[in-house]
C-alpha cells in the first residue's frame, strides 16, 4: 500500500448536535481530524487518519471512514467510543460536553508512537494540538505541518508559549480563528493579527473568520478569501477543521496561496450544508468546481 499524501491526527468523536433553536442532530460522525480529512477528500484525495477510537465504534462508521480515508492508523482502545454534545449559541459559539466514562485518551488523541511506520515520510500533516502535542508531533514527522491550535489554549497567557513553538519548531502553517487569535493577541484587526503571528515567528497563516471568510498570508503575500455563499447553514460544526484540511492539501499540491484558500473555502461551504462531517459522496464535483470558479479574486 502506498502512503497517503495528507495525514491527520486525533480521535473519532460521535457528536450529538444541539442548535440554538433547540433542533438536535444525534449520533453524527465527528472529530476535528475527520472533518479536516473529509475537507481534503472532496478534492479527490485519500488522506490517512491516525486516530483513537472506542472498541465499539459502529461498523457503519468504520466502513464509511474506510471508503474515503486510509484507515490503517486507526487505534481502537479498551474504552467505549466517546460522544460529545455540541451545543451552539445564536452567535455561532459552541460548547462541547464530553459523554464518556473516560474522555482523556480521546481528548489527547493519537500519539506519535501510534503513527504507522509507512506514514513517517508523508508529505503533509494536519495537527489539531496544544503546545506539548504540536512539539511532540513536529519532532516525529518530516512533512509540511498545519497547526490548528486547540481553542482551550488560545489566551493571552499562552502567547509566550505559542511564540516559542513558532520560533523554534518548523510550523509551516498556523490556522486559528478570529476569536482565538484575538484572545491571544488582543482586539486587533485581521491584518494586525496576522502581522502579530509573523512577528512571533509564523511562516504561513490562515486566519479563519466565519462568514467573513478568511485571510491567508505568507511573509510575501496576503489574500482575502471570501466565504462561499451557502444556501443554508445547516450545521457549523467542523467548518474550521474542514477548511484547514483542504488548505493543507492545496499547499501540499503546491497550489498558490490564493488557490489553497479557495479550496479551503469551498470545502468549508459543503461542511456547513451538511450535518456532521462532509460525506464526500454528497459533493457533486461540478458544483464544487463551480463554487471554486465563482469565488471573486480580491
> Which of Mg ion, ligand ADP, none does residue 268 bind to, with CB < 5 to 8 Å depending on kind?
ligand ADP
In the complex, what is the shortest distance from the CB of residue 179 to Mg ion, in angstroms, rounded to a whole number?
9
Min dist CB 273 to ligand ADP, Å, is 10
Query: Rg of the Cα trace of the chain?
Result: 18
Tell me phi and psi for residue 272, to 5 degrees.
-65, -30
Catalog residues that contact ligand ADP under the rule CB under 6 A.
177, 208-211, 213-214, 227, 230, 233, 236, 239-240, 243, 265, 268, 272
CB of 83 to Mg ion, least distance (A): 21
Of residues 125 through 154, those in contact with Mg ion by CB under 5 A are none
Site string for Mg ion, 220-239 (x = CB under 5 A): ----------------x---
C-alpha closest to that of 22 among 89, 96, 99, 91: 89
**C-alpha–C-alpha distance, residues 86 and 96, integer Å:** 5
Nearer to ligand ADP, 21 or 78 (CB): 21
Half-sphere exposure of residue 187: CA atoms within 13 angstroms, side-chain side: 0
Cα distances (angstroms) measured from residue 127 to each of 109, 115, 173, 191, 232: 10, 13, 10, 24, 29
Is the separation of the CB atoms in 74 and 49 below 8 Å?
Answer: yes
Residue nearest to ligand ADP (CB): 240
Q: Which does 136 bind (CB under 5 to 8 A by kind): Mg ion, ligand ADP, none?
A: none
Distance CA 80, CA 68 (A): 24
Nearer to ligand ADP, 53 or 242 (CB): 242
**Residues in contact with Mg ion by the rule CB under 5 A:** 210, 236
Amino acid at each position: 500500500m502506498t502512503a497517503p499524501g495528507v495525514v491527520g491526527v486525533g480521535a473519532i468523536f460521535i457528536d450529538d448536535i444541539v442548535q440554538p433553536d433547540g433542533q438536535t442532530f444525534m449520533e453524527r460522525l465527528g472529530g476535528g481530524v475527520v472533518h479536516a480529512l473529509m475537507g481534503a477528500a472532496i478534492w479527490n484525495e485519500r488522506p490517512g487518519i491516525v486516530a483513537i477510537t472506542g472498541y465499539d465504534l459502529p461498523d457503519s462508521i468504520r466502513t464509511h471512514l474506510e471508503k474515503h480515508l486510509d484507515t490503517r492508523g486507526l487505534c481502537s482502545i479498551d474504552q467505549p467510543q466517546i460522544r460529545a454534545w455540541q451545543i451552539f449559541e445564536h452567535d455561532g459559539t459552541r460548547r462541547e460536553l464530553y459523554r464518556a466514562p473516560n474522555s482523556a485518551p480521546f481528548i489527547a488523541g493519537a500519539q506519535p508512537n501510534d503513527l504507522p511506520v509507512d506514514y513517517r515520510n508523508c508529505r503533509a500533516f494536519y495537527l489539531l494540538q496544544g503546545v506539548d502535542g504540536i512539539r511532540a508531533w513536529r519532532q516525529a514527522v518530516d512533512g509540511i505541518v498545519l497547526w490548528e491550535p486547540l481553542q482551550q489554549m488560545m489566551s493571552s497567557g499562552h502567547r509566550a508559549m505559542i511564540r516559542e513553538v513558532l520560533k523554534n519548531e518548523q510550523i509551516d502553517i498556523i490556522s486559528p480563528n478570529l476569536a482565538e487569535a484575538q484572545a491571544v493577541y488582543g482586539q486587533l484587526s485581521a491584518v494586525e493579527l496576522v502581522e502579530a503571528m509573523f512577528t512571533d515567528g509564523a511562516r504561513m497563516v490562515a486566519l479563519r473568520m466565519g462568514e467573513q471568510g478568511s485571510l491567508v498570508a505568507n511573509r510575501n503575500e496576503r489574500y482575502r478569501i471570501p466565504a462561499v455563499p451557502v444556501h443554508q447553514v445547516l450545521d457549523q460544526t467542523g467548518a474550521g477543521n474542514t477548511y484547514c484540511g483542504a488548505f493543507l492539501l492545496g499547499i501540499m499540491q503546491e497550489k498558490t496561496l490564493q488557490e489553497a484558500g479557495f479550496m479551503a473555502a469551498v470545502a468549508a461551504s459543503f461542511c456547513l450544508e451538511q450535518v456532521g462531517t462532509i460525506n464526500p459522496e454528497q459533493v457533486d464535483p461540478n458544483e464544487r468546481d463551480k463554487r471554486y470558479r465563482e469565488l471573486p479574486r480580491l
